[in-house]
Amino acid sequence: MRIRFLVTATICGLVFAADTTIPDTPAGQQFAHWLKVFNGGKRDEMQKFLEQNRPEAAKRLDQELGFRQMTGGFDLKKIEESTPQKITGILKERDSDNYGRFVMEVAPGPPHQITSLGLQLIPRPAEFQAAPRLSEQDAVAVLKADLQKRTGEDGFAGAVAVAKGRKLVFSGAYGMADRERQVPNRVDTRFRIGSMNKMFTATAVLQLAQAGKLKLTDPLGKYLTDYPNKDIASKVTVHQLLTHTGGTGDIFGPEFEKNRLTLRALSDYVALYGKRAPEFEPGARFVYSNYGFILLGVLVEKVSGQSYYDYVREHVFKPAGMTRTDSLPEATQVEGRFKGYMRRDGKWATNTDTLPVRGTSAGGGYSTVTDLVAFANALMEHKLLNPEYTKLLLTGKVEGGPGGSKYAYGFSDTTADGVRWAGHGGGAPGMNGDLKFSLESGYIVAVLSNLDPPAATHVSDFIAMRLPAR
């Protein structure tokens, strides 16, 4: 069995064909079979394949199908290494511009069951051409076509805004805000934004630092003098909380599920998690920590003398002109804040039973695409921070992802195909959002969705890759 894929690429204007052949080995045969079944996306076929060839994965069939839904399947781009029991290579997602490296290993004897299968997101390999950058007009045209396609396939529902500085280049809304009542999304629909709140929290912390009310190099315990765990208090600095290098851990898991409806204030999270010791020596490495940003919210409250919510409302949202952004409790009726929908057993279900009581300094608030554009402009125009502290806020400090991505203070700092972007995404069941803005080109991309990730991320990546570099 020799399965052949023809891959074309363009380098320096020369077009050539790379003949990629899946080797006729036990590992190659299993990979070819898996790729065919995965791309087919049929529940019964995937279940049968997994039961026969990867039994442990058959127990999480819904996760496998969810992953297929996220990616749209894969195209094989290259085989990198092949032995009878192992095969590695490069795949590209069909629904995005993402590339991944797969590693599959199989058992030495028949029926050569799959013993491991890993897939890691990687930067686009140089041998494969990036999507061409277009004129602004053409980029908007292909974005509209892409959005129509995704919406028609029930892969996107939400709102999109693209701007260059204060000039709005494109805005549009797609799909349903409430599927039961057939209420369509609008450009001013308030979508839950997940971890995108971290941008507001980091901005607030740096405002206080700029005002001389705190120092980024100080330990948390200098301000939270009664913090329960002494190692966290004495060793973890504000800088480390802002860069996810403090080892402060997450908030989600069994404890959150058990206490979800009683976590009403930031102090409730500290009462639940505050006795935990650092997961590693503070400053040793990057590990994303929602709890670290809860602590930053508590820090804002302590230093400013205001509640976190009042502070960001007065010092971030108001000066930025963000009139439809907040974190009011879920029990509060908020005009324009609708439902989120997540996949359960192959069908859309509301995410109501997964939501926190109220958004926090780590995430869970709500906003609109036009408010997020206003926020990006306020930062670029130094309405929230002076030039020195704006640069400090947005400049990457630690490695935080593939493709040259670094984590700054509550923002990513990513260079993709020669264009540098700042921003942050957010995602949870039934919600996904992304904000990107380039200080070099002035372009701003804001996408919000009331569907599972990566509904919004795929759209923001798509248009960011195609907008002019300048």
- CA–CA distance, 410 with 417 (Å, rounded to integer): 23
- Per-residue confidence at 182, pLDDT binned at 50, 70, 90? very high
pLDDT at 344: 85
Check whether 15 has a pLDDT greater than 70. Answer: no
pLDDT at 17: 38
Instruction: Select the more confidently predicted residue: 8 or 357.
Output: 357
- Per-residue confidence at 33, pLDDT binned at 50, 70, 90? very high
Check whether 170 has a pLDDT greater than 90. Answer: yes
pLDDT at 7: 38
Q: In this prediction, what percent of the chain has a pLDDT beyond 90? A: 88
pLDDT at 403: 58
Q: What is the CA radius of gyration of the chain?
A: 23
Q: In the predicted model, what is the mean pLDDT of the chain?
A: 93
Q: What is the pLDDT of residues 78-90, one digit of tens each?
A: 999 999 999 999 9
Residues 6+ apart with CB under 8 A from 188: 159, 324, 336, 368, 370
Check whether 333 has a pLDDT greater than 50. Answer: yes
Closest CA to 360 of 220, 198, 190: 198
pLDDT at 418: 86
CATH architecture of 3-122: Roll (3.10)
Residues 149-160, mean pLDDT to the nearest whole number? 96
CB 364 within 8 A of CB 356: yes
pLDDT at 19: 45
- Per-residue confidence at 430, pLDDT binned at 50, 70, 90? very high
pLDDT at 401: 65
CATH class of 141-466: alpha beta
Closest CA to 456 of 175, 72, 97, 159: 159
- CA–CA distance, 107 with 457 (Å, rounded to integer): 37
- Per-residue confidence at 402, pLDDT binned at 50, 70, 90? low
In the chain, what are the helix, strand and coil shares in percent, each to the nearest 5?
35, 25, 35
How far lies 383's CA from each of 30, 322, 389, 467, 470, in Å? Answer: 57, 13, 11, 26, 23
Check whether 434 has a pLDDT greater than 50. Answer: yes
- CA–CA distance, 210 with 440 (Å, rounded to integer): 24
Residues 221-240, mean pLDDT to the nearest whole number? 98
Among 18-27, 63-72, 137-146, 384-393, the least confident range: 18-27
pLDDT at 404: 62
Check whether 217 has a pLDDT greater than 80. Answer: yes
Residues 220-241, mean pLDDT to the nearest whole number? 98
Domain spans, the chain:
3-122, 141-466
CB 455 within 8 A of CB 449: yes
